[in-house]
Amino acid sequence: MKKILSVVVLSACALFTGLAQAEYVIKFSHVVTPTTPKGKAAQYFADQVNEKMAGKVRVEVFPNSQLYNDNKVMEAMRLASGNTGLMAAPSLSKFVKFSKKLQVFDIPFLFNDINDVHKLVDSPVVDEMIAPLEKKGIKALGFWDNGLKVFSINGDKPLLVTPQDFNGKKFRIQSSEVHEAMIKALGGTPQKLPFKEVYTALGQGVVDGQENAWSNIYSKKFYEVQSYITVSNHSYLGYLLVVSSEFWNSLPDDIRTELSAIIKDATMKGRVFAAEADSGDRQKIEEDKYAKVVDMTPEQRASFRAATSKVEDQFRDQIGADLLKKVHATIGH
């Protein structure tokens, strides 16, 4: 009898251990604060998974580069193995080395508003842009909003309402050849710097200005070391939610289906967070009165679009002329 009980107990333990080992863990690494649209969307995704898929999948969120920065996370992602996967949502410019087609999102003044962006990312056209990532072992799961970018600068005179205001000024940009070409087209000097170094660089005068979405300007306090913020809405700051293709493909079909549904929900929720930050963080910045916010008129925006129009032509071959035609057809201009 004792032997039978021992066998039963051992079998139960083995079964329990097997179930415990079958739980998949997703470590979600990102570089921003939990209060930003991406930070909120990541936590929302984690909460939904941990509630709805308890015992099957667990998500742990690591904000503020606690785990990896955006330059290291994708390599670490592809090296992960077993039941633990690494997920991240780096800015779109980080993926250009895998797919030049994604440079579409950096083209200045391509989008009139965030609705144009959503028309594109919700269309089949983006499948052509993200397809090359699969060959590099990266699975793209969705486009997450931060918002449209605005310009800021330090100094007494420059308001950044005419292209001439950029002459001789140094601007921090992301690691993007399109951004670099845009600043040069406006007469400024582009300088690529990691996100975590921007505040110090602005405060010490290493650069005069920068471009970003409202949530980043507020959460990282860039506005405290800038005199003016011009509401240019000149390009999209978005993120691509990614995971290792190997890890994603190793998941059972039912788990992939459940995760995909939650990801879609988190993507829509992220748009709400971004829209709230767009208005709410701008208002907080204006109330703090460090930087003066200047709205760009339609005429001023038209002059900037004209000054930077050659940038799209410059990258037409890299992106693909046919793809650009599809993009313009999709957004309607």
Residue 97 lies in a domain: no
Cα 260 off chain centre by = 19
Report the C-alpha gap between 218 and 43 in whole angstroms.
19
Residue 256 lies in a domain: yes
What's 324's domain CATH number? 3.40.190.170
41 and 87 part of one domain: yes
Residue 155 lies in a domain: yes
Structural domain harbouring 32: 2-92+139-144+238-280
55 and 74 part of one domain: yes
Q: Say if residue 280 is exposed, middle or buried (CB neighbours under 10 Å; 0-12, 13-18, 19+).
A: middle
Count CB-CB contacts under 10 A for residue 331: 19
179 and 201 part of one domain: yes
Residue 186 lies in a domain: yes
How far is the first Cα of the chain from the last one, in angstroms, to the nearest whole number? 80
320 and 181 part of one domain: yes
213 and 76 part of one domain: no
Q: What is the pLDDT of residue 22?
A: 56
Count CB-CB contacts under 10 A for residue 109: 20
Q: What is the pLDDT of residue 40?
A: 96
17 and 165 part of one domain: no
Contact in structure between 70 and 94 (CB atoms under 8 Å)? yes
- Dump the DSSP string for 173-199: E-S-HHHHHHHHHTT-EEEE--GGGHH
Q: What is the pLDDT of residue 14?
A: 40
Contact in structure between 106 and 262 (CB atoms under 8 Å)? no
29 and 11 part of one domain: yes
48 and 187 part of one domain: no
Q: What is the pLDDT of residue 13?
A: 45
Give how many domains the chain has, as a whole number.
Answer: 2
243 and 258 part of one domain: yes
Residue 32 lies in a domain: yes
181 and 300 part of one domain: yes
158 and 70 part of one domain: no
Report the C-alpha gap between 108 and 56 in whole angstroms.
43
The three-point CA angle 308-118-291 to 5° equals 55
Count CB-CB contacts under 10 A for residue 105: 27
Residue 254 lies in a domain: yes
Residue 105 lies in a domain: no
Q: What is the pLDDT along the chain (333 residues), one digit of tens a residue?
A: 444 444 444 444 444 444 444 599 999 999 888 999 999 999 999 999 999 999 999 999 999 888 888 878 888 887 777 899 999 999 998 899 999 999 999 999 999 999 999 999 999 999 999 999 999 999 999 999 999 999 999 988 778 999 999 999 999 998 899 999 999 999 999 999 988 899 999 999 999 999 999 989 998 999 999 999 999 999 999 999 999 999 999 999 999 999 999 999 999 999 999 999 899 999 999 999 999 999 999 999 999 999 999 999 999 999 999 999 999 999 999
Residue 115 lies in a domain: no
169 and 260 part of one domain: no
Q: What is the pLDDT of residue 4?
A: 45
